[in-house]
């Protein structure tokens, strides 16, 4: 029998490909915010020259990559899984002949694949064509960036999965997801480069999975630091979060009581 997961990746891709108008509309938001955020960073650099190794080209590249990655790693979680936990429909998902955790990851990777085409590449092209863009110096950087984006997506999935599963214990994961939605952008380096943060904040964040979502792929692309260390940090958190996700799902499933039947 064929493994269902490659087909789930394809299904995830096609599901999002069905909403082309939504993708175009989303691009408008990315473009406006890219312009505004780039203005802020460039204004800061105009005051005193490069900050923490960011010149204007690097800052502009940082902004457009961030706007593009936003929908690939998918920072802002949807509540679908939490909703199925609350209503009990999760029982049906657990009963299917698949590993639910892997199936959802496969679906998310398909979604991310479509987002690379429709949401990541266009903002990058805007940055390349209309702004001073920091091109990678090594050809290998493009491949490393692709791997880093993939790992960032897996880490993001791990966080979103755990937050959604909190519904097993809290019944309503909305508050938890709202907190993540509020702080996520700042902690992951979407809003400001993490290297601009005070040293203590950088030291704390280095021990968290958060930079893996945005700052690390962008650092890989702009060739800051050793790419092996950066990718290993992402890989480590991807594995840890996947493991935690399995434990949490198993623990949650044990709490599940199916009434009647």
Partner 1 sequence: MDESTGSAAQVYARIVASRIRGQLSYPGSFALDVVAQLVGQGIELLAILVIFTQVTSLGGFSAAEVVLIYGLAATAFGLADLAVGQVEALPDYIRTGEFDVMLLRPLGTLAQLLCADVQLRRVGRVAAGAAVLAWALRDVEWTPVRMAVAVVAPVAGAVILSAIWIAANCVSFWLVDGREVANSVTYGSDFATSYPITIYGPWLRRVMCFAVPGAFVAYFPALALLGRPDPLGLPAALRYCSPLVALIAVGVAAFVWRIGVRHYQGTGS
Q: What are phi and psi of 231, to 5 degrees?
A: -70, -35
- Output b/e per residue, 199-214; b: 16+ Cβ within 10 A: eeeeeebeeebbbbbb
In whole angstroms, give the CA distance from residue 217 to residue 46: 26
Restricting to residues 59-78, which ones interact with partner 1 according to CB under 8 A? none
Q: Find the binder of partner 1 among 141, 197, 202, 236 (CB under 8 A).
A: 197
The C-alpha angle with vertex 23 and arms to 21 and 25, in degrees rounded to 5, equals 70
**DSSP class per residue in 37-67:** HHHHHHHHHHHHS-BTTB-HHHHHHHHHHHH
Question: Does 5 engage in binding with partner 1 (CB under 8 A)?
Answer: no
Question: Does 242 engage in binding with partner 1 (CB under 8 A)?
Answer: no
Nearer to partner 1, 22 or 251 (CB): 22
Nearer to partner 1, 3 or 182 (CB): 182
Question: Does 182 engage in binding with partner 1 (CB under 8 A)?
Answer: yes
Selected range binding partner 1 among 22-30, 98-106, 151-159, 230-238, rule: CB under 8 A? 22-30
Restricting to residues 149-178, which ones interact with partner 1 according to CB under 8 A? 175, 178
Name the minimum Å distance from CB 183 to partner 1: 7
**β-sheet bridge partners, residue 54:** 51
**DSSP class per residue in 159-225:** HHHHHHHTHHHHS--HHHHHHHHHHHHHHHTSSS-GGGS-HHHHHHHTTSSGGGTTHHHHHHHTT-S
Name the minimum Å distance from CB 91 to partner 1: 26
Question: Does 40 engage in binding with partner 1 (CB under 8 A)?
Answer: yes
Question: Does 18 engage in binding with partner 1 (CB under 8 A)?
Answer: no
Residues that bind partner 1 (CB under 8 A): 19, 21-22, 25-26, 28-29, 31-33, 35-37, 39-40, 42-44, 47-48, 51-52, 175, 178-179, 181-183, 185-186, 191-192, 196-198
């Amino acid at each position: 029998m064929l493994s269902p997961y490659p087909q789930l990746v394809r299904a995830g891709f096609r599901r999002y490909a069905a909403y082309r108008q939504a993708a175009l509309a989303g691009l408008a938001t990315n473009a406006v915010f890219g312009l505004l955020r780039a203005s802020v960073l460039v204004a800061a650099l105009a005051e005193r020259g490069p900050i923490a190794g960011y010149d204007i080209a690097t800052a502009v590249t940082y902004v457009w990559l961030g706007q593009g990655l936003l929908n690939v790693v998918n920072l802002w979680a949807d509540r679908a899984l939490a909703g199925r936990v609350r209503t009990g429909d999760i029982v049906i998902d657990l009963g299917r002949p698949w590993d639910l955790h892997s199936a959802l990851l496969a679906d998310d990777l398909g979604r991310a694949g479509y987002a690379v085409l429709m949401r990541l590449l266009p903002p990058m092209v805007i940055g390349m064509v209309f702004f001073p863009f920091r091109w990678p110096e090594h050809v290998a950087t493009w491949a490393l960036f692709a791997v880093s984006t993939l790992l960032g997506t897996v880490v993001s999935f791990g966080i979103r999965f755990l937050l959604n599963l909190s519904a097993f214990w809290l019944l309503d994961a909305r508050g938890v997801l709202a907190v993540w939605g509020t702080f996520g952008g700042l902690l992951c380096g979407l809003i400001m480069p993490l290297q601009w943060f005070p040293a203590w904040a950088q030291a704390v964040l280095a021990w968290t999975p958060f930079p893996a979502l945005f700052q690390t792929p962008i650092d890989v692309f702009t060739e800051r630091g050793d790419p092996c260390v950066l990718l290993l940090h992402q890989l480590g958190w991807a594995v840890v979060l996947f493991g935690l996700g399995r434990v949490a799902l198993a623990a949650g499933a044990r709490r599940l009581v199916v009434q009647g039947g």
